[in-house]
Amino acid sequence: MWRHVAANALTFLTVGLFLLAGLVTWGVQQYSAPGPLAEAICLRVPAGATMRRISDDLAERGAIASPTVFRLGADYTERSGQEKQGSFLIPASASMDEITAIVTEGGPSTCGTEVVYRIGVARTLAEVRERDLAGDGFTELAEFQPGLDPIPAAYEQVKAESDTTYRVVMAEGVTSWQVVQALNALDVLEGDVEEVPAEGMLAPDSYAITPGTPVADVIARMQSAQETFLAQAWENRAEGLPFDTPEEALTLASIVEKETAIPEERPIVASVLVNRIEQGMRLQFDPTIIYGITRGQGLLDRPIRESDIAGATEAELHGEVLYNTYVVNGLPAGPIANPGRPAIEAALNPAATDYLYFVADGSGGHAFAETLDEHNENVIRWRQIEAEAGQDG
C-alpha cells in the first residue's frame, strides 16, 4: 500500500515538474516575444516608481499582455529595482524584455517634452517641443524670446513636469557677452554672472542642463570644452602656419567663422587669411571693424562708415585701434567671436590655395580670386546681382 502511495506521489511530482517547466518556458517565450503595442507610446517613469507601477501602467496602455510575467521577467534578469526616472519611447511591438531594458538602462529621456534655449547671433530663442512619436521629429508647442516676450502657458506647464528635459544650444559666431546675457536671462538657471569670459573661449555646442544649475557652471563647461578642443586641434595643426600660439589660431578661426557659414568654404577662407599674412597684406575684413566698435556687445545697428574703415570711430571710442584689420597689420588683438570646431580646424589646417580675395557670389557663397583684377571682376558681378535684386524687390 505504501509503495502504491509513493508511486502515485512520484507520478504527481513528475507531472507537476513537467507542468512547471512548461509554464516557465511559456513565460520566457511571452517575455521575449513581440508585444501587443500597435503604436509607439511615451512612458513616463516618475522618481521612485516600482516595477509593479510600471507594469500596471504598461498593461493599462496595451503595451504588455501580463504585468505578472513582466515583473517576473525583470526579477529573473536581475533588473528589478534598477528603474530610472525619465520619459522613454516604447516602440510598437516592443517585447517585455526590450521594455525592461529601456526603463532600466537610463540615459537621457527619449521622448516627452523638452525646452531648447538657442543662443544665436541675433537673438536667443526658447523652443518648447514634444517628440513626434510617429516619426523622428518634434511638435512645437511654443516659442518665445526669454526676457523679452510674454511667457507662454505651454512653457509654464512643461516646467511643472518633472521629466521635462532642458538644453542650451550655442551657435557658432556668438560673442561671449551675448552668451552671458542669454544665460542670465534663463529662469531655469541660477546666479547671474557679471564677468564676461575671454572672447573665443566658449565652445559652440549643445549642453544638457537641469533647473537650478548655476550660470557659472554652464559657462565653465563651455570653457572647458573649448580649451580641450583647441589643445587637440593645435597638436594636429599643419606645418608652417604664420602664427605661433593657439590664441592666434583662435583669432583667425573667429574671422573665418564670421566670414562664411558654408562648411566647405571654411578651409578656403582660412587660406586667404594665411596667404595675406604671409605676403604682408592687411586682412581687411569688415567683421573686425564691427567688433572694434561694439566689442561684441550686440549688433551694429547701422552700416559701416568710411570713418569706421579708417579707424577714427574706433580710436575715439577706445583710444586705440586694435581690431580693425583695415588699419592694423596681421591679426587683430584677439578673437571677434566664439568659433566652432570646424572653423578652428580650418584655421589650423587651411586649404592649399593661392587665393588672396573673395566676395559674395549671390548664391550664399563666395567667389575667390588670386589676383586683384579677377577680384574686381567678381565684385562687378556681385554688384550687378545686388542691383537686379533691388529692381526685383
Query: What pLDDT is recorded for position 190?
Result: 95
190-197: Cβ within 8 A, 24+ apart: 190/214, 190/215, 191/215, 191/216, 193/219, 197/222, 197/223
d(CA 340, CA 366): 20
Question: Considering the chain, what is the average pLDDT of its residues?
Answer: 86
Query: What pLDDT is recorded for position 124?
Result: 95
Assess contact for 190 and 212: CB atoms under 8 A. Answer: yes
Strand partners, 114: 129, 165
Q: Which residues contact 266 (CB under 8 A, 6 or more apart)?
A: 256, 260, 342, 343, 345, 346
228 pLDDT exceeds 50? yes
Query: What pLDDT is recorded for position 35?
Result: 83
Query: What pLDDT is recorded for position 183?
Result: 97
Q: What is the mean pLDDT of residues 287-307?
A: 87
DSSP output for 184-237: HT-TTSBS---SPPPTT-S--SEEEE-TT-BHHHHHHHHHHHHHHHHHHHHHTP
d(CA 74, CA 78): 6
Query: pLDDT per residue over 75-96, tens digit each?
Result: 888 888 888 877 787 888 889 8
Query: pLDDT per residue over 91-112, tens digit each?
Result: 888 898 888 888 888 666 667 7
d(CA 296, CA 292): 8
Element (H, E) at 360: strand 357-360
Query: pLDDT per residue over 128-164, tens digit each?
Result: 988 777 666 778 889 999 989 999 999 999 888 877 8
Q: Please give the DSSP secondary-structure letter assigned to residue 80.
A: T
Query: What pLDDT is recorded for position 301?
Result: 85
Q: Which domains does the chain have, with CATH numbers?
A: 26-105 (3.30.1490.480), 113-227 (no CATH), 236-355 (no CATH)
9 pLDDT exceeds 80? no
pLDDT band at 222 (very low <50, low <70, confident <90, very high): very high
Q: What is the mean pLDDT of residues 369-384?
A: 89
